[in-house]
Amino acid sequence: MIFAPHPPGSLATLGMTVFVAVSLLAGACSKKNNITANINAANRVAVRPVRLYYESEQLMLVAETRNIALPESPAAAIPVVARELMKGPATPVGARLFPPDTLVRGAYLLPGGTVIVDLGGATLSQGWGAGSHHELMAASSLVQTLAVNFADARRVRFIINGAPAETLAGHVSLSRSLSPMPQFVDPRFR
């Protein structure tokens, strides 16, 4: 039996093209899952508990513990923890401190214990109208969260959109790195 090729655009040609495309896509998805699994294994990503600090009704920082997938390397894990903090609290015990559109553009651990956190988002870029207490607690929550979860993180330097920032909302000076301030943390969560 001799098979004649189907004319271009015929239903059989279209069916074969769809079959080949679906097969290639399925193979690519399988490869992507294998690549992701390999990257996670190479970075030793595992679900680990972290403590995130939010403000309570008593105007003190309280910790919320979450289990999140983190790389073993602190340099790779710090931006993950900072982004998790920006999601806001999962329980009603604490209140969100940063504007909802805040982005963590990057976070870097320098030798000597300084963490550089690059924040972005329309609200921080255009002028955040928060009061002095709210701004102080926001900065303190990020500093406390990073210091508690990473032994090498001793202070945090904030930058906005890749440039040094004088302040987040006009009250707290960010001209120098900030250290943890345990006096703002509820004693039950230190």
pLDDT digits 0-9 by tens, 119-170 = 999 999 888 999 999 999 999 999 999 999 999 999 999 999 999 989 999 9
Q: Which of 38-42, 108-112, 118-122, 126-130 has the lowest mean pLDDT?
A: 38-42
Complete edge-to-edge strand list for the sheet that includes strand 103-109:
103-109, 114-120, 155-160, 163-164
Residue closest to 52 by CA, chosen among 99, 98, 115: 98
Q: Which amino acid makes up residue 170?
A: G
Helix (H, G, I), strand (E, B) or coil at 2: coil
Neighbours of 93 (CB within 10 A): 14
pTM over 0.85: no
